[in-house]
Every structure is written in structure tokens, then in C-alpha cells.
């Protein structure tokens, strides 16, 4: 191993990765080839990917078609497409249906970017659809520190109270909150985790020892590995596992690294 390299874990499932280009600057691994090379070196066996185009593009059908094509053509069985749905666009149901019919295991929404609310009837309709079709609903809590966003663009904070009330109504629905750290406090996350089959990734969890504290709040079984790569250095999430290894223990590390994501992929029959 070269000097200064961070030793990889034996296996990782990364639930929060993007293809294509971040809208506001170029990133070091924003080509599919470069991204895949990095993921392979880190022993990532599956990366759940959406396209950055889904943040601002309006033709999400085209975005999801390109995503599927990229994963099929060059994904090398590592890239697992998760299509995007923008609930504020008319005909969003067709986009969700496309994701399901294409064999994707879930759909991803970006409420802070699409300016959609969780107390909207369209969100509950999406919950219903995902439960019925056995799709994981991945809700991205945020992507960037609001203090560093482009002045012409400000994402919106997500109001989570409606989700707390809505989730118990869908007992077979699996929900994954990505980048919960800044936007979803440990206390709220604990309540969400008790409301249903709700998981959280560790992408934006900060503070020294913060991952272990978050795991304690939501339980180790509900925390999964999400790198927020390539916007974040991949090593950020990887090193967070190391920083918290004593508190998590080997069993906890394995759970967060890949076992919980495998569990999340299991459909809930009812």
C-alpha cells in the first residue's frame, strides 16, 4: 500500500453516491470511470447512485434513462441506479413508475432542492407507491452547508414533523434519510427510527465521536454507510468509522459498513 493511503475495509455498501457533475464546480471524481476506480479501490461492492442532474434538471425521465444506461454500460455491477423523482413536476408518477419498471430498488427525492414539502399529498402518494411496489424511498436531507451555497441558489430546510406523523401509516415502507447529520438532530432521528423502517446514512454526521452518538440515538441497526461521494472525499466517511470503531465494536462496524444496507434491501412482505 502506498504511503498515506487509508487502508480500505474488507467490504462496503455505499448508499449515497452521485454520477455526473455537481452543478457549481468540477469535482475530482466526477467521471464515471474515475468514480468507479475509486470505489473499487475501497472495496465498495455496491454503490447506490443517482445523477447530480436530478437536482436542477426538469426532464427527469431523461436523467433517469441516462442513469440507467451509465450503470448498465459501465457500472461493472457496482453501480446500482436509484432514480430521482421531483414531486413538484407534473407527471412525477410516471418517473416513479419508470424507476420501478426498470428494476431499480428505490427512488431518491431531494426536497431541499425541488422545494417539495413532506406534508404535501404528493409525498404521501409517493410513500404509498413505494410501499406497494417495494421500493426504498431515499430522502436526501441536504447536500451542502447553507453557508457555502452559491448566492444565487439556496436549498431549503426540510420540515420533518409531517414525516413523523406519516411514516406509521406505511408499515411496510422502507425509508432511508441521506446526509441527516446537519438537518436531522439525534433526537428527531431517534423518533423517526421508532416511527417505522427508517434508516440513516453517516454522510454529514459531524463532531468527534459523532457517528457513535448517532448510532446510539437511532440504534446501530439503522445506520448505514453513505459517503456523499464525489462531493465529499470518500475517505471522510471511511475515517469516521475508524474514529468511532471503539464505541461501535467490530459487530457494529460490520453492520454499518454493509450488513444494515443488506437488511434495508430486504423487502417487507405483509
Residues 204 to 263: which contact other proteins by CB under 8 A? Answer: 204-211, 229-236, 238-243, 245-246, 250, 253
CA distance 4 to 130: 43
Q: How far is the CB of 140 from other proteins (least distance, A)?
A: 15
The 8-class DSSP code of residue 184 comes to S
Size of the site for other proteins (CB under 8 A): 48
Shortest Å distance, C-beta 219 to other proteins: 21
Tell me the per-residue interface mask from 28 to 47 with other proteins, x by CB under 8 A, - otherwise: xx------------------
User: Which single residue is written with the C-alpha cell 431518491?
Assistant: 108
Q: Which is closer to other proteins, CB of 221 or CB of 233?
A: 233
Place of cell 475515517: 239
**CA 128 to each of CA 32, 92, 96, 98, 199: distance values in angstroms, whole numbers, following the listed order:** 33, 14, 12, 16, 18
Q: Does residue 150 bind other proteins (CB under 8 A)?
A: yes
Instruction: Report the distance separating Cα 108 and Cα 96, nearest Å.
Output: 9
Smallest distance, Å, CB 145 to other proteins? Answer: 5
Q: At what angle are helices 210-218 and 234-243 packed, to 10 degrees?
A: 80
Q: Count of residues for the chain?
A: 270
Q: Which is nearer to other proteins, 90 or 250 (CB)?
A: 250
Q: What is the largest CA-CA distance in the chain?
A: 54
83-84 vs 174-178, strand pairing mode: unpaired
In the bound state with other proteins, the residue whose beta carbon lies nearer, of 99 and 256, is 256
107-146: contacts with other proteins (CB under 8 A): 144-146
CB of 220 to other proteins, least distance (A): 15
List residues near other proteins by CB under 8 A: 1-7, 9, 25-29, 144-151, 154, 204-211, 229-236, 238-243, 245-246, 250, 253
Amino acid at each position: 500500500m502506498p504511503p498515506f493511503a487509508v487502508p480500505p475495509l474488507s467490504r462496503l455498501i455505499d448508499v449515497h453516491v452521485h454520477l455526473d457533475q455537481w452543478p457549481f464546480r468540477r469535482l475530482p471524481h466526477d467521471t464515471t470511470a474515475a468514480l468507479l476506480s475509486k470505489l473499487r479501490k475501497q472495496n465498495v461492492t455496491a454503490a447506490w447512485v443517482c445523477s447530480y442532474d436530478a437536482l436542477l434538471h426538469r426532464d427527469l425521465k431523461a436523467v433517469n434513462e441516462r442513469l440507467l444506461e451509465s450503470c448498465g454500460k459501465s457500472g461493472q455491477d457496482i453501480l446500482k441506479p436509484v432514480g430521482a423523482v421531483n414531486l413538484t413536476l407534473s407527471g412525477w408518477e410516471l418517473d416513479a413508475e419508470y424507476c420501478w419498471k426498470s428494476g431499480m430498488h428505490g427512488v431518491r427525492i431531494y426536497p431541499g432542492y425541488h422545494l417539495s414539502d413532506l406534508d404535501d399529498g404528493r409525498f404521501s402518494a409517493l410513500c404509498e407507491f413505494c410501499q406497494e411496489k417495494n421500493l426504498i424511498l431515499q430522502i436526501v436531507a441536504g447536500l451542502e452547508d447553507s453557508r457555502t451555497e452559491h448566492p444565487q441558489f439556496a436549498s431549503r430546510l426540510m420540515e420533518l414533523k409531517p414525516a413523523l406523523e406519516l411514516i406509521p401509516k406505511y408499515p411496510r415502507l422502507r425509508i432511508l434519510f441521506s446526509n441527516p447529520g446537519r438537518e436531522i438532530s439525534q433526537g428527531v432521528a431517534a423518533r423517526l427510527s421508532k416511527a417505522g423502517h427508517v434508516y440513516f446514512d453517516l454522510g454529514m454526521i459531524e463532531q468527534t465521536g459523532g457517528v457513535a452518538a448517532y448510532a446510539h440515538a437511532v440504534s446501530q441497526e439503522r445506520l448505514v454507510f453513505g459517503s456523499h461521494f464525489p462531493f465529499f472525499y470518500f475517505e471522510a466517511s471511511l475515517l469516521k468509522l475508524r474514529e468511532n470503531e471503539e464505541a461501535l465494536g467490530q459487530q457494529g462496524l460490520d453492520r454499518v459498513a454493509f450488513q444494515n444496507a443488506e437488511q434495508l434491501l430486504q423487502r417487507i412482505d405483509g
